[in-house]
Amino acid sequence: MRHWLALGGLLLAAPAMSAEPPPATITISAEARRTAAPDLAVLGAGVVTQAPDAAAAMAENSRRMTAVVAALRRAGIEPRDLRTSQLAVQPQYRYGEGRAPAITGYQATNQVTVRLRDLARLGPVVDALVKEGANRIDGPNFIVEKPEPLLDAARADAVRAARARAELLAAAAGVRIVRVLTIQEAGGAPEPRPMMRAMASAEAADMAPPVEAGESELRAGVTVTYEIAPAP
């Protein structure tokens, strides 16, 4: 007990340590963008069929989808750029007030995701798909296949923009930038809606639907916290 009391006395007698105040800071968010012509188009192409029974719906769907896939391969689509994305058979119902839903037939859906690397052929490819029986076309979505170099450039631009804005605000406030404390990236992403420009070739314009690729815009953002101090 005496040992505990003595220890308690020592603890009580120890001088309190003074904590240093946190540094003054300024936090800036900045964004930068880079644009490039897309080099890849991604679209969905499929067939939706209906029939009184599931087997008939799937049989008709398979017949037409086989022709669609063959058209894609004739168009030069490589196996690595063709992937089944949906395959389903679902009952179709008739609903009536006060009555249980009744099955009226079945719907079969088969869809593939297509990556097209020759954008000038997109219009003719879509035209060929429709002629071969595709009745569901989703897209296209134009993207840059390897965006990292552009995103890295946008990240560097964003950091420089944050520094320039911090210097401006610090000077207006009569302080100076001491150092960077933290950097957080907001994330890089392509712009969902491209700036459009004409893409379809003149030879394909008579038969194929007009398609525009535009420019893909990639953006990156950063949030930077700087330590500041009074200006000399």
Per-residue pLDDT tens for 84-141? 999 999 999 988 777 888 899 999 999 999 999 999 889 889 998 999 999 999 989 9
pLDDT at 188: 59
Cα separation, 158 vs 164, whole angstroms: 10
Q: At what angle do helices 122-131 and 54-74 cross, to 10 degrees?
A: 150
Query: What are 180-224's pLDDT values in tens digits?
Result: 999 999 865 555 444 333 333 333 334 566 777 788 899 999 999
pLDDT at 189: 59
Query: Which tokens is 192 given?
Result: 């969902």
Confidence of residue 16 (pLDDT cuts 50, 70, 90): low
Cα separation, 105 vs 51, whole angstroms: 6
Q: What is the DSSP letter of 207?
A: T
Query: Which tokens is 176 given?
Result: 């100076």
- Using alpha carbons only, give the angle 77, 82, 83 rounded to the nearest 5 degrees: 175
pLDDT at 25: 96
pLDDT at 100: 85
Domains and CATH numbers, the chain: 22-37+147-230 (3.30.110.170), 40-143 (3.30.70.2970)
Query: What are 160-187's pLDDT values in tens digits?
Result: 999 999 999 999 999 999 999 999 998 6
Residues whose CB falls within 8 Å of the CB of residue 199, separated by 6 or more in sequence, listed in order: 119, 120, 122, 211, 212, 213, 214
Amino acid symbol at 21 = P
Distances (CA, A) of 83 to 13, 122, 227: 75, 17, 52
- Half-sphere exposure at residue 158, Cβ-oriented, CA atoms within 13 angstroms: 26
pLDDT at 214: 80
pLDDT at 186: 87
Query: What are 47-66's pLDDT values in tens digits?
Result: 999 999 999 999 999 999 99
pLDDT over threshold 90, residue 72: yes
CA-based nearest residue to 67, from 118, 135, 138, 123: 135
Distances (CA, A) of 156 to 2, 54, 149, 153, 182: 65, 56, 11, 5, 15
Q: Which residue has the tokens 């429709």?
A: 130
